[in-house]
């Protein structure tokens, strides 16, 4: 059966060019980067060249880039450091964050007594900036603001500069989960008022199990993982050598082809939205589809019926991969906390379709035809 993959916000396929860059570090260049002899020196050089490449693309200093196992570890490190090392007594987040953030701040609130507030979400899915200002004014202590750059389920984009400037005004620490946007948008971290950002290689055709944490050079924190002196004493454990090489190569490719790929993918997304409206009665969209929105994500609400309640299962058995909300919780029946926060209509079923450079209009047409049959 032909398979159609429309769940690229969950993970993307590994680019063959990235695999080619990784392979030498899986075979002949296998040394431990902490070793002092030639095998170690050549792998250490590979890691440091990868760090320089990532830093240059993000317009950061190489000393601000730390390689991790992915977005979850990076966000946990940043949030815990803000509490443990930077004096934050109160956290301001939103009810539509990824669980890597939500579960961390809730744990700190319940087990460490850290204050926790959630900023209001507007009907469009964007955060209420006036309410954020109000929360910062009334916090009564140093705050950590942790808000994601692009929501992984509905695609809404945060204005990093506006939030960062507001945080600066109140001397708050600002962490942003940028897992859905690094590799998809240009970054200029030297000129963005943010203390921490995170990324994961598998969101832009790199390998799984590798990510970065950007720590602004003016911020000093202690390690989250204790052990050896890797990552300049910041992240213990032998480095994921070939993952790091792959992360840097994937980011280079994504940056090089950004204009071409982003326009192509956004056209595909808008084409699918128009075809859904034309062919499926009662369909609506979650998030700010026509405004500030991630060009890879289309979140669709279908009218609830006996047929649509089984839609993900029926798509799957027809070889079509999509998700109901976030793939990180797709095995649970609880539904999406993001959709609940912006669309409480019990008579709708939400499905996320997310696209990459590898998808085509022909695939969209086939999915639309199948949806007409299924609903």
Residues catalogued as catalytic: 328
Query: What SS3 class is residue 145?
Result: strand
The dihedral sign for the CA sequence 151, 156, 157, 159: negative
At 38, list the tokens: 């030639």
- Up-side HSE of residue 46: CA atoms within 13 Å toward CB? 29
The backbone torsions φ and ψ at residue 177, rounded to the nearest 5 degrees and listed phi first, read: -75, 105
Rounded distance, CA 167 to CA 4, Å? 42
The backbone torsions φ and ψ at residue 137, rounded to the nearest 5 degrees and listed phi first, read: -65, -35
220-250 burial, b if ≥16 CB within 10 A, otherwise e? ebebbbeeeebbeebbeeebbbbbbbbbbbb
- Provide the total of helices (H) and of strands (E) in the chain, helices listed first: 12, 12
- Up-side HSE of residue 63: CA atoms within 13 Å toward CB? 5
Rounded distance, CA 274 to CA 206, Å? 31
At 73, list the tokens: 């570890």
CB 112: neighbour CB atoms within 10 A? 10
Select from 300, 316, 312, 313 the least CA-distant residue to 348: 300
Q: SS3 letters for 282-330?
A: CCEEECCCCCCECCCEEEEEEECCCCHHHHHHHHHHCCEECECCCHHHC
Q: Which residue has the tokens 């993918």?
A: 265
Rounded distance, CA 181 to CA 192, Å? 15
Say if CB 33 and CB 50 are below 8 A apart.
no
Q: State the pairing for strand pair 173-176/196-200.
A: parallel
């Amino acid at each position: 059966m032909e398979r159609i993959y429309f769940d690229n916000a969950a993970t993307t396929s590994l680019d063959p060019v990235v695999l080619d860059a990784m392979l030498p570090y899986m075979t002949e260049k296998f040394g431990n980067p902490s070793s002092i002899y030639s095998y170690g020196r050549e792998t250490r050089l590979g890691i440091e060249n990868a760090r320089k490449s990532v830093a240059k693309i993000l317009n950061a200093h190489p000393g601000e880039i730390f390689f991790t196992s992915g977005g979850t570890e990076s966000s946990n490190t940043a949030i815990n450091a803000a509490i443990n090392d930077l004096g934050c007594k109160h956290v301001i987040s939103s009810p539509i964050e990824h669980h890597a953030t939500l579960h961390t701040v809730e744990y700190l609130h319940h087990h460490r007594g850290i204050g926790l507030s959630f900023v209001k979400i507007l009907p469009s899915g964007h955060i209420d900036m006036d309410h954020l200002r109000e929360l910062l004014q009334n916090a009564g202590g140093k705050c950590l603001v942790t808000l994601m750059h692009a929501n992984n389920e509905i695609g809404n984009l945060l204005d990093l500069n506006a939030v960062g400037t507001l945080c600066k005004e109140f001397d708050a620490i600002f962490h942003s989960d940028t897992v859905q946007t690094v590799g998809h948008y240009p970054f200029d971290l030297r000129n963005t008022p943010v203390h921490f950002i995170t990324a994961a290689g598998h969101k832009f055709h790199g390998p799984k199990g590798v990510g970065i944490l950007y720590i602004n050079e003016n911020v000093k924190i202690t390690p989250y993982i204790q052990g050896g002196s890797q990552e300049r004493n910041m992240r213990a454990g032998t480095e994921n050598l070939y993952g790091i090489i792959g992360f840097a190569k994937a980011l280079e490719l994504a940056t090089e082809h950004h204009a071409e790929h982003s326009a192509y993918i956004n056209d595909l997304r808008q084409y699918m939205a128009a075809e859904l409206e034309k062919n499926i009665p009662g369909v609506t969209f979650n998030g700010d589809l026509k405004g500030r929105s991630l060009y890879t994500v289309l979140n669709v609400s279908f009218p609830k019926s006996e047929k649509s309640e089984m839609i993900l299962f029926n798509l799957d058995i027809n070889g079509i991969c999509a998700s109901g909300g976030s793939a990180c919780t797709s095995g649970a029946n609880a539904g999406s906390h993001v959709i609940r926060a912006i669309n409480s209509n019990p008579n709708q079923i939400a499905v996320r379709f997310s696209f990459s450079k590898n998808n085509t209009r022909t695939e969209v047409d086939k999915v639309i035809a199948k949806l007409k049959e299924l609903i």
